[in-house]
Amino acid sequence: MSQDEKDRRRCMKRIQRKQILALLTTAALTIAFAGCGTSNTPTEESAETTSTADQELSLLDTYVSNTVISTGSNTVIKNAEHVTYRAWFPVEAAGEYDYRFYFSNTVDSTWGDGSESHVGMSGGSYTIEKATVYDGGTEFDANVEPIVSAAVTFSGSAAKEVAPDETFWSDPVTLNVPEGHYLLWEWTVNGTNIPAIAMSNLTYAYADKGDGKGFLYTNEIPVPQLVGCDRKVKTRIVTLGDSVTQGCQTSEFGYQFWAAQLLDQLGTEDYSLWNLGIGYARASDCARQGNWLNRAVAGADLITVAFGTNDIISGPYGGTGHATPEEIEADVRKITKTCTDAGIRTILWNSPPFDMTPELDGIRTAYNETVEGIAKDNGATYFDVASLLANPSDASKTVYGQHPNDEGGTVITDALVKLIQE
């Protein structure tokens, strides 16, 4: 197949994807109206909202992720009184680019039992007082002021009032991040219930609460949902899943989780990678087809889908306990179909071992028996990650830890690269 034909097909897939996203957004609005006690179809006002959301997500054709750090949300900052946050992002591709940052003021997935934060939870009203990006240098120091900076604006203004459930982009800003340097994101916010992510020592995250103590490490930090730049790539990879995809319990600040290793092996000349793995996430969260799944679909040419563990252990938000194999299958089938219907090459994982009780591992085993069929039915590629990570003498036990360590990440990556390049 010629390169022109490949480009034409890629263009057609993206057009189809936009059409499907419009349908998904309309469906989500209809569900929201029904949940508010009405069975009416969306009004002209909601149709306008749908159009705006489509326009926002269409920018993902131009702005691709430039960091492998996960930027979803699974918790909230309950009260931030003029707090300044800093996050150091390793960049996928160095050099000068126009950056834009995407935000969603709705929580993507459930944390723990959902009592603190949960899928679809509306963020509170808050103010962005100021936002700046920097060349973060090569050496991390939370309290040293970087030299090279660029102000981030929103519709031409340095400040922005953010409404519950609002989605929005920053204006374009040009920044040069040299090879081996971090991109440093800094913003000062004031408000309540601001969606955030538990960073789990995957990169440097700090907060200055204005109490004279300076910047101190914080595990929970609000960040943009996309650190995007106008880099041209052939394939946009999205990794969609839970804490295994996010990279939890790999080397602290080492960037050796499997998603980072995957991009290292594939290279950044042809690929970008947007990490949408979120700790504690369930398939039932993603299957609600909120902004998390919608932006994943809009931003992907190739997507990995990896769920199951938290559905088994914690069950769906609002449920009464562990999900059944049938419930997990239904949710994963819905996610997979959404991806493949949009023309995205989809790699569907089964659920890896997690050193569970025999009862829970029985749920995992029963669910895993359905995964290859889900993939086949929807035109996806099946990835048997469980066999790669299981103890040869006991398939219910792990070799590389409940969350695969750096070595386990390499095992996953080696197999995925072969699959992707077939």
| Domain ranges for the chain | 3-61, 73-227, 233-420
Four-point Cα dihedral 301, 227, 272, 73, nearest 10: -60
pLDDT of residue 145: 82
Burial of 55 (0-12, 13-18, 19+ CB in 10 A): exposed
323, 110 contact by CB (below 8 A): no
The phi-psi region of residue 205 (left if phi > 0; otherwise alpha if psi is between -120 and 50; otherwise beta) is beta
- The pair of structure tokens assigned to 341 is 């219907």
Least confident of 32-36, 73-77, 161-165, 346-350: 32-36
Residues 6+ apart with CB under 8 A from 240: 276, 277, 286, 293, 296, 303, 304, 305, 306, 335
Residue 69's CB: how many other CB atoms inside 10 A? 24
pLDDT of residue 14: 54
Residues 305-360 have pLDDT tens digits of 999 999 999 999 998 889 999 999 999 999 999 999 999 999 999 999 999 999 99
Residues 58-87 have pLDDT tens digits of 999 999 999 999 999 999 999 999 999 999
pLDDT of residue 223 exceeding 70, the answer is yes
| Alpha helices (H) in 190-323, listed in sequence order | 243-246, 258-266, 283-286, 291-298, 309-313
- The pair of structure tokens assigned to 150 is 């660029």
Average pLDDT over residues 190-204: 96
Residues 6+ apart with CB under 8 A from 392: none
Give the C-alpha separation, 190 to 128, whole Å. Answer: 7
CATH 3.40.50.1110 fits 233-420, yes or no: yes
pLDDT of residue 2 exceeding 70, the answer is no
**To the nearest whole number, what is the mean pLDDT of the chain?**
90
Give the distance, in angstroms, between the CA of residue 420 and the centroid of all CA atoms in the same chain. 20
Give the C-alpha separation, 150 to 131, whole Å. Answer: 9
On the CB side of 276, CA atoms within 13 Å amount to 34
Give the C-alpha separation, 218 to 83, whole Å. Answer: 12
413, 265 contact by CB (below 8 A): yes
Of 311, 290, 305, 286, the closest CA to residue 366 belongs to: 311
Give the C-alpha separation, 142 to 216, whole Å. Answer: 8
358, 316 contact by CB (below 8 A): no
196, 220 contact by CB (below 8 A): yes
